[in-house]
Amino acid sequence: MGTVYVFFADGFEEMEAFAAVDILKRAGVNVAMVSVTPDEIVKGAHGISVLCDKNIVNCDFYDAEMLVLPGGLPGATTLNECEDLRKELLKQASANKAIAAICAAPMVLGNLGLLKGKKATCYPGFDKYLEGAEYTGAMVEKDGNFITGKGPGAAIEFGLALVEHLCGKEKMKELKTAMCLTK
């Protein structure tokens, strides 16, 4: 399996980003945290800073298995404005590889036209950016190789959906049990 790249911009939603990274790593997935800002240290919407593994300007995505966009503001807006990221998303989609976004970040996919004809969800009010998508309002929505999440409250379910897509249902169930998410 290749690498899952999770993108960070100042103002990212910590719960969404860290839950995805943590759950993927628990599943044994190779994860790289990528800054889209000039610095590898990125500050979240609630003041928590993270040291990313890479910077987008010197990152080669040849082994990208999945690209993940956390939400939060202004983080999602910065992701939307990052031309290098937009190019990678288009390449990933044309290669029919997985892309995931949560909260406000699905707007990036919507603005690129990647969600046309797909079921998708996002933070309430951001559905206006999901051009051509069928907005469901679900906590997590999967349509083909696209996975979208509603917001911070969906962070764990979103992370588990990423694992299920990459590693299968059994691995996802195993993690749910290990994380005390089952009765």
Sequence spans of domains, the chain: 3-176
Q: What is the CA radius of gyration of the chain?
A: 15
Q: What is the pTM of this model?
A: 0.98
Show which residues are catalytic: 103
pLDDT at 5: 99
pLDDT in tens, 160-179: 999 999 999 999 999 999 99
Two tokens at 31?
Answer: 């994860």
- What are the φ and ψ backbone dihedral angles of 54, each rounded to 5 degrees? -145, 165
Q: Tell me the CA distances in angstroms from 62 to 5, 97, 133, 167, one per residue in order.
A: 11, 12, 28, 20
pLDDT for the residue numbered 53: 98
Residue 162 DSSP code: H
| Residue 183: predicted pLDDT | 74
DSSP states along 105-133 = THHHHHHTTTTTTSEE--STTGGGGSTT-
Stretches in the chain below the pLDDT threshold 70: none
DSSP state at residue 178? H
CATH class of 3-176: alpha beta
Task: Enter the tokens of residue 59.
Answer: 């990152």
Contact 106, 115 (CB under 8 A): yes
Mutual orientation of helices 14-26 and 169-178 as an angle, nearest 10°? 110
- pLDDT given at position 1: 87
Burial (CB < 10 A; 0-12, 13-18, 19+), residue 107, is buried
